[in-house]
Chain A
């Protein structure tokens, strides 16, 4: 049951995880699927080398397990005893990786070619990092708020100062009219008895 490390310098081990990828919709892996795999690999080799001579027979499979995993090697179409070097197979697989994955409804993670690492997606670098945009909005709003509040404080102060000089005069007039207990007294108010100094200063 344990897979022995094959002495296959030009072969690749393939591991397929159908249940992980498709869950309930997972199809059964049988000999027809293996045939499909051979055909896909032949297609990949044809595409890479641009030689239309590769055929299903050139893809040799072995050590199939229930995992599902197996090894494969590629023979040259001209000479079936000669194996295509590992590096060339890798290039072919990399070129058509997307097509191979889609053929089986799988992904880089669920259809693994052990030894061929998936190329990482190039990072998407936006011109302005998104955080700067939000930062700009917030700080703009805050600055507007500060300026608005400071201006309104200044205006309030000026209004108060204006209001106080006017109010002062009104109060004096009220006293002169002599409003006492809410009753308007007729007659002139004698300023001599105004209660200016309630407390005697020492």
Chain B
């Protein structure tokens, strides 16, 4: 029984046949770059997949969606959604030996839009992702001093007192919002470029350029460090963390299962979204990387191994992060309690040591019974360890506020700070390699630049243009712009692209042909699991996530949180609504890449109708050989 597929003429002429692939393999024909060895390929893919999200998004999701119970939806969706999609991208790249634009154009010229959408998303995401790396570098540069600049409030101008913005919030908050970002109070208030941020941004893009200069020839060497160093640092932090007081409380808090959360649909949605984004799917980078492999590389095994590594890294880094968070929460709790005890001792002139942690509650009750007004006037804070633990933040808040605070409380803080930010830097940089690959290779395939221009020049232009546009993020309002990009550029379009990818391979390329290809490449046909997931399960999951995301975003009032020292609830962040003109930007970020998919198809259709040329004119050209069969420049 042949699986239904849409009509697709001329496919055989656009793609290399199995015999040609064998021949190319033996002769090593063509000037396509190749991996030096399998390790480079695996490390590059692991580096691309394992990124900042594993460190600062997964732990938060885990903790907020029922701890250990979150593993269940996460692992289920990893198997049903992550692994099949990963295998699909690897296989199609290895088979058609091209980047994203090349692959989809080869499958059907009307699908070029999918490749272009991948290009746009890689470009937009790369821009803001590298800005985060610039922030990491800023913190890294500032870690080479003792005491760390975010450990204490600075003194104000006339040396009378500490800066009030700092005393009202905290030194780490102040350093992040004021010294680093110099953030304005709203997204509309741009506040000009911050020169130190521009320098860090320049450094980040130059560093990326030096690593991506020659494509995988240079990145292949860089990944030996950037993909392995994070694991070393995580292990060091784990060992250090476990020796600190309170770390086990943190780990227990993280993994304590609350099975009721499984009834909550948002748990499953967040798990699905996390698996999806964590695998860096639909960027085009993975397709590109696997196209440099030899034809008979076992892509099925690779997909499974990388998925397992990715899942394991998420859990491992969550453990490490929460051991340190547990330490911080315990320190905060101890400080809070000490502060209260001191206030009581001072107010009632009791001897030191008469109230300790053990008898605090009892003594407080006694005193409250006899002198309630005094107790009231003291304004004691409620110290609850659980509250401090669930101050689990995610994203930049976790890395630059919570974790940096924890580091200041550890002995030899500069060392831990340097290690931590090197780890974040490596995690981010290895993901950027995939982003750049997903931007540069499609540009080459689309022939935007003249063919004789070397790869160095094209990569340089991409880096330069990205740097110039990313200067938006170096303004005072840069943080808000980055949050905007993060919510819209990297979410909806990727889901659309992934869905189209699966439909394209299963229904337009033909799952039967795809199965035969895989049998040719790795020696056996993909088993029932792959068949079911590719045809029904994975597209359905992606569709469901997309619909929910879309509906939530469209129906809710789009707001953002801002740092405003003059707001009432300071230091709590203020919730503001976006101004009207932001919706144009949101449309550009989310709408344009998504609409490019049907848009390009319509554009090509119109062009074909207007010029009335036979699109499949390849039939005439293919009689003499050595032809345009390996390139996919049609119409």
Please say whether chains A and B are actual partners in one complex. Answer: yes
Residues on A facing B (Cβ under 8 Å): 1-3, 15, 17-20, 65-69, 119-123, 130-135, 138-139, 142-143, 145-146, 149-150, 153, 157, 198-202
The residue from A69, A132, A133, A146 contacting B209, defined by CB atoms under 8 A apart: A146
Pick 29 A–B contacts, CB within 8 A, sort by A: A1-B349, A1-B350, A2-B348, A3-B349, A18-B352, A20-B352, A66-B349, A67-B350, A123-B154, A131-B138, A131-B141, A131-B142, A131-B196, A132-B141, A135-B141, A135-B200, A138-B137, A138-B203, A138-B207, A139-B202, A146-B213, A149-B210, A149-B218, A150-B456, A153-B213, A157-B454, A198-B625, A199-B626, A200-B624
Is B351 within 8 A of A143, CB to CB?
no
A53 to B347, CA, bound (A): 36
A20 to B456, CA, bound (A): 63
Is B348 within 8 A of A202, CB to CB?
no
Is B159 within 8 A of A122, CB to CB?
yes
* B555 contacts partner chain A, Cβ-Cβ < 8 Å: no
Distance between A154 CB and nearest chain B CB, rounded to angstroms? 9
* B259 contacts partner chain A, Cβ-Cβ < 8 Å: no
Is B210 within 8 A of A142, CB to CB?
yes
Is B349 within 8 A of A146, CB to CB?
no
* B461 contacts partner chain A, Cβ-Cβ < 8 Å: no
Taking CB atoms, residues of chain B closer than 8 Å to A120 are 155, 159-162
Smallest CB gap from A157: residue in B: B454
Taking CB atoms, residues of chain A closer than 8 Å to B145 are 130-131
Cβ proximity bits B228-272 to A, threshold 8 Å, 1 near / 0 not: 000000000000000000000000000000000000000000000
Taking CB atoms, residues of chain A closer than 8 Å to B462 are none
The residue from B142, B346, B352, B456 contacting A130, defined by CB atoms under 8 A apart: B142
Is A17 within 8 A of B352, CB to CB?
yes
Distance between A68 CB and nearest chain B CB, rounded to angstroms? 8
Taking CB atoms, residues of chain B closer than 8 Å to A139 are 202-203, 206
The residue from B162, B206, B371 contacting A142, defined by CB atoms under 8 A apart: B206
A169 to B349, CA, bound (A): 101
The residue from A2, A19, A131 contacting B374, defined by CB atoms under 8 A apart: A2
Can you add 9 more A-B contacts, CB < 8 Å, to A131-B141, A139-B202? A1-B349, A2-B348, A69-B346, A122-B155, A123-B154, A130-B144, A142-B210, A146-B213, A199-B624
Smallest CB gap from A114: residue in B: B346
Taking CB atoms, residues of chain B closer than 8 Å to A200 are 624
Is A15 within 8 A of B199, CB to CB?
no
Residues on B facing A (Cβ under 8 Å): 137-138, 140-142, 144-145, 154-155, 159-162, 196, 199-200, 202-203, 206-207, 209-210, 213-214, 218, 345-353, 371, 374, 454, 456, 623-626
Distance between B67 CB and nearest chain A CB, rounded to angstroms? 37
Taking CB atoms, residues of chain B closer than 8 Å to A132 are 141
Taking CB atoms, residues of chain B closer than 8 Å to A133 are 144
Distance between B32 CB and nearest chain A CB, rounded to angstroms? 17
Taking CB atoms, residues of chain A closer than 8 Å to B138 are 131
Is B155 within 8 A of A123, CB to CB?
yes
Q: Total A-B pairs in contact (CB under 8 Å)?
A: 96
Distance between B464 CB and nearest chain A CB, rounded to angstroms? 13
Distance between B159 CB and nearest chain A CB, rounded to angstroms? 6
A19 to B162, CA, bound (A): 27
A139 to B348, CA, bound (A): 59
Taking CB atoms, residues of chain A closer than 8 Å to B202 are 139
Smallest CB gap from A131: residue in B: B141
Which of A67, A121, A123 is the most central at the interface, judged by chain B CB atoms within 10 Å of its CB? A67
Taking CB atoms, residues of chain A closer than 8 Å to B200 are 135
Taking CB atoms, residues of chain A closer than 8 Å to B345 are 67
Is A2 within 8 A of B371, CB to CB?
yes
Known: A2-B374, A123-B155. A142 touches B203 (CB 8 A): yes
Is B206 within 8 A of A146, CB to CB?
yes
Smallest CB gap from B141: residue in A: A131
The residue from A2, A131, A146 contacting B210, defined by CB atoms under 8 A apart: A146
The residue from A18, A67, A138 contacting B349, defined by CB atoms under 8 A apart: A67
Taking CB atoms, residues of chain A closer than 8 Å to B144 are 130-131, 133-134
Taking CB atoms, residues of chain A closer than 8 Å to B140 are 134
A19 to B342, CA, bound (A): 12
A123 to B624, CA, bound (A): 79
Smallest CB gap from A3: residue in B: B349
Known: A67-B346, A120-B155. A199 touches B352 (CB 8 A): no
Taking CB atoms, residues of chain B closer than 8 Å to A17 are 352
| In the complex, the 3 A-B pairs of residues with the closest C-beta atoms, listed nearest first | A65-B349, A131-B141, A67-B349
Distance between B382 CB and nearest chain A CB, rounded to angstroms? 23
A17 to B206, CA, bound (A): 55
Distance between B281 CB and nearest chain A CB, rounded to angstroms? 31
Taking CB atoms, residues of chain B closer than 8 Å to A150 are 213, 456
Is B203 within 8 A of A202, CB to CB?
no
A4 to B88, CA, bound (A): 79
Is B348 within 8 A of A142, CB to CB?
no
Is B206 within 8 A of A153, CB to CB?
no
A159 to B345, CA, bound (A): 82
Taking CB atoms, residues of chain A closer than 8 Å to B155 are 120-123
Taking CB atoms, residues of chain B closer than 8 Å to A199 are 624-626
A198 to B625, CA, bound (A): 9
A3 to B371, CA, bound (A): 13
Smallest CB gap from A120: residue in B: B155
A131 to B143, CA, bound (A): 8
A80 to B140, CA, bound (A): 62
Taking CB atoms, residues of chain B closer than 8 Å to A18 are 352
Is B349 within 8 A of A153, CB to CB?
no
Smallest CB gap from B626: residue in A: A199
Distance between B536 CB and nearest chain A CB, rounded to angstroms? 45
Is A15 within 8 A of B346, CB to CB?
yes
A157 to B624, CA, bound (A): 31
Is A135 within 8 A of B456, CB to CB?
no
A187 to B626, CA, bound (A): 33
Distance between A201 CB and nearest chain B CB, rounded to angstroms? 6
A14 to B161, CA, bound (A): 22
Is B352 within 8 A of A149, CB to CB?
no
Known: A19-B353, A130-B142, A131-B142. A2 touches B347 (CB 8 A): yes
Smallest CB gap from B161: residue in A: A120
Known: A3-B349, A66-B349, A67-B352. A153 touches B456 (CB 8 A): yes
Distance between A5 CB and nearest chain B CB, rounded to angstroms? 12
Taking CB atoms, residues of chain A closer than 8 Å to B456 are 149-150, 153
Taking CB atoms, residues of chain B closer than 8 Å to A1 are 348-350
A68 to B353, CA, bound (A): 12
Is A149 within 8 A of B213, CB to CB?
yes
Smallest CB gap from B349: residue in A: A65
Taking CB atoms, residues of chain A closer than 8 Å to B206 are 139, 142-143, 146
Taking CB atoms, residues of chain A closer than 8 Å to B347 are 2
